[in-house]
Amino acid sequence: MTTVASFNVEYKQYLSPAGELVGDITPDIATDFEQLKALYETMVMTRVFDTKAITLQRTGKLGTYASSLGHEGVHVGIGSAMNYEDVFAPSYREYGVQFCRGVKMSEVLLFWGGDERGSNFSGPKHDFAWCVPIATQNTHAAGAALSFKLRKEPRCTVSVIGDGGSSKGDFLESINAASAFKLPMVLVIINNGWAISVPREKQSSGETLAQKGIGGGLPSLQVDGNDLIAVHHEVKAALKRAREGGGATVIEAITYRIGDHTTADDASRYRDKDEVENAKKLEPIARVRRYLMNNNQWSVQQEEQLLERCKRMVESEVKVYMDTPMPPVTDMFDYMFAELPHDLVSQRKFAQELDK
């Protein structure tokens, strides 16, 4: 028998749950404490924001909201590795990436409050808006990456998908396109263990989800998604490779969805409490804080000051959201067609009269 090909999937971790460096190499960011502290602050702000957004939903001031609790490391790791000119194609909970790229908290709240003006967010205007349909953002990213290649622009796209969404045809088609056209693209599978109520082990019998990229001919690896240093380092390396003409990479980031899937979900109905408590021991924020404190770069006083500052910033953004006037009802007609069809003209007039 002749073996025609063999493959492996490497697992990358540089910062242990105890806040200690591990592995054979030390990424540059691990010793750049000023940058690391700035990213840590973004992670904490994201969590404070997330907590407040859930409170707003529970008190009837926000629509259904998708929490990012436990994802702060992978999200900020991705966002901090990207260049401004790169394009991000999110799903619907990657606030840490977007905050790194200049999106305002009030804009996130507008979106989840049902106001589409939130999709016209700050930051790079070439980034895609939130995508609730599962995995279609991957094909959007592939198309943008193809345009960069055809124009010979040194830009990349980054798309994300959940573990459940990685089973969608859109994701697999994006892998095929990225491979066939050697696209400047990074596809990140954020494996948080659950596709709403379906556990990872019932979604695929494969040892990894990263190996889906191998089937398409792409370099593929796993990272500890709770390790900010690992995510930042590996995404940055994959983007560098893509920018230099080396093609796309698939990265599976192993993390955990500590909260409910959305505020419309009750995860306690299908998840064991002990599983969640064990996952909290591996969560990303405490890990970076331990590392900074172990290296005399952070203190209890700094932590208290940061939390107070984040609370003030979040409250300020909530006020912007709450004080934003409602959009006119005619907006639902005015941004779809260059010339409004005849049947919608009468509907627009009727809606306008009701809105007076």
> From first to last of its 356 residues, what are the pLDDT tens digits of the chain?
899 988 999 999 999 999 999 989 999 999 999 999 999 999 999 999 999 999 999 999 999 999 999 999 999 999 999 999 999 999 999 999 999 999 999 999 999 999 989 999 999 999 999 999 999 999 999 999 999 999 999 999 999 999 999 999 999 999 999 999 999 999 999 999 999 999 999 999 999 999 999 999 999 999 999 999 999 999 999 999 999 999 999 999 999 999 999 999 999 999 999 999 999 999 999 999 999 999 999 999 999 999 999 999 999 999 999 999 998 899 889 988 999 999 999 999 999 998 87
DSSP 287: H
Q: What is the spatial order of strands in the sheet that 10-12 belongs to?
A: 10-12, 220-224, 249-254, 185-191, 157-162, 87-89
Q: Which residues contact 166 (CB under 8 A, 6 or more apart)?
A: 135, 189, 209, 212
Helix (H) or strand (E) holding 220: strand 220-224
Cα angle value 96/99/105 (rounded, 5°): 105
Per-residue pLDDT, 179: 97
Indicate which residue of 11, 84, 117, 270 is catalytic. Answer: 270
> Residue 355: what pLDDT?
80
Report the first-to-last Cα separation within the chain, whole angstroms.
Answer: 79
Question: CATH homologous superfamily for 10-325?
Answer: Thiamin diphosphate (ThDP)-binding fold, Pyr/PP domains (3.40.50.970)
Return the pLDDT at 188: 98
Residue 335 is predicted with a pLDDT of 86
Looking at residue 202, its amino acid is K
Helices 33-58, 228-243: crossing angle, 10 deg rounding: 110
Q: How many residues does the chain have?
A: 356
Annotated catalytic residue, options 155, 257, 287, 289: 257
Burial class (CB within 10 angstroms; exposed 0-12, middle 13-18, buried 19+) of 247: buried
270 is catalytic: yes
Whether this model's pTM surpasses 0.85: yes
257 is catalytic: yes
CA 65 to chain centre: 14
Q: Alpha-carbon distance 286 to 234, whole Å?
A: 21
pLDDT at res. 22:
97
Nearest of 188, 261, 175 to residue 225 by alpha carbon? 188
pLDDT attached to residue 138: 98
Per the listing, tokens 């409170």 go with 55
Catalytic residue among 47, 75, 232, 261: 261
Do 79 and 150 meet the contact criterion of CB atoms below 8 Å apart? no
Distance CA 133, CA 146 (A): 22
| CA distances from residue 166 to 104, 195, 328, 341 in whole angstroms, order as listed | 28, 10, 38, 38
Under 8 Å between Cβ of 259 and 58:
no
- Exposure class string for 275-306: b at 16+ Cβ within 10 A, else e: ebeebeebbbbebbbbbbeeeeebeeebeeeb
Q: Where in the chain is the domain with CATH 3.40.50.970?
A: 10-325
